[in-house]
Chain A
Amino acid sequence: MKVDRRSFLGLGLGAAAGVAVTPATWKLMDDSSIWTQNWPWTPVPPAGEATYDNTVCSLCPGNCGIMVRKIDGRPVKIEGRSDYPVNAGGVCLHGISAIQYLYDPSRIKAPLKRENDTFVEITWDEALDMVAERLTEIRASGSADKIACVTDQTKGTIPGLFARFLKATGSNNVYAMDTMEKTWEITLEKIHGGRSSAGFDLENSDFVLSFGAGLIEGWGSPVKNFKINSSRKERGSTLVQVEPRLSNTAANADVWIAAKPGTEADLALGIAGVIIKESLFNSAFVTASGKGFQELAAVLGKNYSPEAVAQTTGVKAAKIIEIARDFARSSAPIAIAGRGRGMSAGSVREFSAVHLLNCIVGNINTKGGVWTLAAQDYEKWPAVEMDDLATAAFEQAPLDSAGSMAGLFTNAGKEKNIEALLIHQANPCFALGDAGSVTEAVKKIPFVVSFSSVMDETTQEADVILPGHMLLERLEDRPSGAGVAQRVTGLSRPVIEPLFNTKNPGDTLLELARKMEGTIGASFPWESYEECLEAVTGDLWAELSDQGYAAETATPPGGGVKVDFSFIVKSQAPVEMEGEAKDFPLVLVPVDNVRISAGSLISSPFAIKTVSDNVLKGKDLLVEINPETARANKLSHGDLAVIETPKGKATVRVNLFEGIMPGVVAMAKGLGHVLDNNKYVGGKGVNINELMGPIVDPVSGLDAAWGIRARLSRA
């Protein structure tokens, strides 16, 4: 048998015909076309029952009520809680991003200890033993007062437990970030006497005069202020924004006044001068409550005439007079201070000059005005038990007399040594001025314990990491603050079992205290943090656990206040910037960009994605300058440039923007993170805190830096 061409033909034809009368071809065609639509590596999210859990966002002091959408118990989305008294449905982009923070693979998944230059996973028992032993040693050596703790805030039971733990060991060194809240407290104390915090009733005010407060940049309680601002027109309220650049708030305001940066206090005093001179002030209030008013009137009349102030601030005299009249003639005018998001302290001179405006129109402790709020007192702590060691050490002066975190690390770099540092939800190595020096200071501290659940710049310097739960895993009370007049205490509740081997910092501290035994252990008699929270919140607990928050319904306890005008008169020098004008002709100011998180919270991938390419391009940060400034420095849009300040220099690109005062360079805060395991945020841009140092306010002792002299040249 010979197989020739025809046989093959037969074979082929036969096969073709055979296949043609079977379904194979047609079925294969259909299947392969479906196959092309299937990408097995594209995730298919599992379906299931949708439920919602309520909790309170703890990412910033705003404390919004949020709902977590879950599918079969798996959190998938964050939404605003519409029945919550703070945010009433809205939610900011960082809050929505909590879902990314929760699942972030770069989270710290178990306790770690430093071994040479790396971190090694250890058990909770080992980690707590290490910390307990070390702290016990420090105490035994008589350096209990050299133990310091930094937290995000001072209010609430978790910061309360930290303070208690430190007191029980014998240290009064508990620090929180310097914020406008602290400066307001000091200002109110100086002017009205007594300790109180400021609450701004912006909702009921019909004229808001803001000296740089970024009401829609995230100032105070961000979403609440967004809402208040957006109802402005319906309420017939006016917003005047004083700021050297057209921020979002300035853009949204009815009037934008570009005063030279650093002259805000002068402008406020000028406006006050006009109000007094034209007898537009509330004389009944001033006469009844004021002290030293005549003296003040004289000083303002002499030194702060509209013309003189126009000279200092660059704002036209007529404009000053106009604003003064509009302000004083409004029925509930309010003046506010605290630049940007209010996450830096600012100068007491500026705050008191601004508050003077509230005082002369008598809008204190009234609807639509500033409230002097007594401290919230729902926390009922039993007395701390202290042994002799603790009692003796606790008497020692704190490491920074003003209680300033900036001061603490400046001192740490100098003569006062910190023996051990506990860090909870704070990132001083990134967020404090002169971050480089702060990092050096932290490196020198022999024992650093971080309670963070993310590897931030400060945690990278830790010796032991006791990772905490994230929001959504964590129980915590969230007391009101951030300048909100109506106080709402929220309860942040776990909506999911912890994803990793982390602990609530409250529980960590309880266990640590028990390991340290003696009076320290005895000061923490609770079985768990939950039990502690329930016991400490006392009467409030039922309401908190029931509806997730407790709101004060009555008007805040304010009442009659005294005003000491003489404090304002005492001539205070303005807080000058670092640097000489002849070397550094420009002024660099930090900018709070609402889409970038600038404090201890690192921006999420979601948030960074929304950042304009005029702020961040590739890995380059863009500084904002007026085209006039650009021309003078021979720069055009997008050019690489070197910005130099007395503190350091960095390579940036320039973004030409008409809405910024010539001579001013604006740089976004919150970029320039150095994070090895976070490629979405790490290594992008420049940290402005590397270019700016702290300046100690003569009154408060807090960091009052608001800008620094700079020069810009083509790279």
Chain B
Amino acid sequence: MKQDNHGKNHKYGMVIDLDKCTGCGSCMVACMSENNVPFKEDETRKKDSITWMRVYKLTNGKPFPETEICYMPRPCMHCGGKGDHGHSPCVSVCPAVATDYDHSTGIVSQIYTRCFGCRYCMGACPYHVRYFNWWDPKWPEGMENYLSPDVSPRMRGVVEKCSFCFHRYQQAKDRAYVEEREEIEEQEYQTACTQACPAGAITFGDLNNPDHAVHQMVKPDPHACGKPRNPKAFRLLERLETNPKVYYISERDWVRKAGDNYLEGEWEKVKNNHDKGHE
């Protein structure tokens, strides 16, 4: 793994407690507001509606009154790829080096001016976290005044996605520099969605740091590419070995099962495998 000049390597990740998520949508709007995500007249065609953070509604599929629902917020998973070598699905296919994996933070970037809009990355991403700008972003007259200088507004023809609010990391680093510190504290770098969530369902921090809440919540297994050792935690499509940095927690069996596509009978075999871990 490449070393960098920014101290020890971090692996920023997110843990979302699906039993706490109420589906209120604050994370989505906090993200849009933080990251200059545009909006258009009709946003009901969800495939071309840009929401870096999207809350999905899952149901257990049972009839009334056995029905249960679960809301699942879905940011970019910032996959480390197999073996955590940084070969995330999108990074490996980008012909323009418009997206790369930062080994010092574990964050997958997206550089809009570099992107030429081939959308290979969108095809490669199994989580649908990437969005294409089919149109120029347009803010009604005057509303461009709320745009933040911390994130570049995108242009037509490029792909965009969640950056784990990387600019907040940069800002935290800058503050640390002027205070002549090397490292930033857990609370200094939090994503906009984490900060806004009224239910406290989102936790963000350094998965490599045992003092951070995210580490303690999922107990990532260092020998199995961060696979959670907490039996109630799971990652989406774990078996693809994309090695996401977003973990979900739920007490509910059916919710954890919904995190991957299992063949009949398969789930029963794997559902408690987490307990054993790879110690």
Contact = CB atoms under 8 A, between A and B. Distances in A.
Given A39-B156, A45-B153, A93-B24, A99 B51 contact: no
Given A609-B43, A658-B61, A659-B69, A103 B146 contact: yes
Given A79-B195, A96-B30, A610-B25, A43 B149 contact: no
B22 A226 contact: yes
Interface residues of A, number: 78
A47 B69 CA distance: 43
Contacts of A223: 198
Interface in A586-612: 594-595, 605-612
A45 B64 contact: no
A378 interface: no
Interface string B30-68: 101110100101111110010100010101011111011
A90 B28 contact: no
A94 to B, nearest CB: 8
16 contacts: A39-B136, A42-B136, A47-B149, A74-B145, A76-B148, A90-B26, A90-B198, A102-B146, A104-B140, A105-B140, A226-B198, A230-B199, A614-B57, A657-B67, A658-B59, A659-B67
A458 to B, nearest CB: 23
B44 A93 contact: no
Contact of B22 (A105, A231, A248, A680): A248
A626 interface: yes
B22 A660 contact: no
A428 interface: no
A557 to B, nearest CB: 29
Interface in A492-511: 499
Contacts of B153: 42-45
B17 to A, nearest CB: 8
Interface stretch (A147-155, A171-179, A251-259, A266-274): A251-259
A388 to B, nearest CB: 49
A610 B68 contact: no
Nearest to A499: B142
Interface of B: 19-20, 22-26, 28-30, 32-34, 36, 39, 41-46, 49, 51, 55, 57, 59, 61-65, 67-71, 113, 136-137, 139-149, 152-156, 195-201
A618 B59 contact: no
B33 A99 contact: yes
A287 interface: no
Interface in A42-84: 42-48, 69, 71, 74-80
Nearest to A37: B113
A606 B36 contact: no
3 interchain residue pairs of minimum CB distance: A90-B198, A226-B198, A659-B67
A97 B41 CA distance: 16
A223 to B, nearest CB: 4
B25 A595 contact: yes
A230 B202 CA distance: 11
B196 A79 contact: yes
Contact of A105 (B59, B141, B152, B198): B141
Contacts of A662: 64
Contacts of A607: 25, 29
Most buried by A among B153, B154, B201: B153
